Amino acid sequence: MARPPLEGVRILAVSQFGAGPFGTQVLADLGAEIIKIEDPAVGGDSARYVPPYLHEQDSLYFQSFNRGSKSLTLNLQHPAGRAVLHDLVKVSDALFNNVRGDLPARLGLTYEALKKVNPRIVCCSLSGFGANGPRASEPGFDYLIQGYAGYMGVTGEPDGPPGKCGVSVIDFAGGYAGMLGLMVGLFEAQRTGVGRDVDVSLLDTAVSMLSYFAMWTLNRDWQPERIADSGHQTLVPAQNFPTRDGWIVIFCNKDKFWQALAERMELPTLLQDPRFAGFPERLAHKTELVKILKARFAMKTTAEWLGLLRGHVPCAPVNSVAEALEDEQVRAREMVIEVEHPHFGRIREVASPIRTEGEIRRPAPAPSLGEHTEAILSGVLGYGSQTIARLRSEGAIGK
What amino acid positions are annotated as catalytic residues?
Answer: 171
Burial class (CB in 10 A: 0-12, 13-18, 19+), 18: buried
Radius of gyration of the chain measured on its C-alpha atoms: 25
Q: What does 111-156 look like in DSSP terms, one character per residue?
A: HHHHTTT-TT-EEEEEESS-SSSTTTTS---HHHHHHHTTTGGGSS
Locate the DSSP E strands across the chain.
10-14, 33-38, 54-55, 58-59, 70-73, 94-97, 122-127, 196-201, 238-242, 247-251, 315-317, 336-341, 345-350
Helix/strand/coil percent split, the chain, to 5: 45, 15, 40
State phi, psi for 111 to the nearest 5 degrees: -65, -35
Q: How far is CA 256 from CA 126, 216, 277, in A?
A: 43, 25, 12
Residues contacting 159, CB < 8 A, separation 6+: none
Backbone angles phi, psi at 115, to 5 degrees: -65, -30
Rounded Cα–Cα distance for residues 115 and 3 (Å): 30
* Nearest 10 degrees: Cα torsion 233, 236, 242, 243: -150
* Cis bond before residue 104 (omega within 30° of 0): no
Q: Answer yes or no: are the C-beta atoms of 99 and 109 closer than 8 Å.
A: yes
- Residue 288 CA to residue 281 CA, distance in Å, equals 11
Say if residues 66 and 99 touch (Cβ distance below 8 Å).
no
- Taking a C-beta distance cutoff of 8 angstroms, is the pair 67, 30 a contact? no
Interatomic CA distance for residues 266 and 277, integer angstroms: 17
Q: Are strands 122-127 and 94-97 parallel, antiparallel or unpaired?
A: parallel
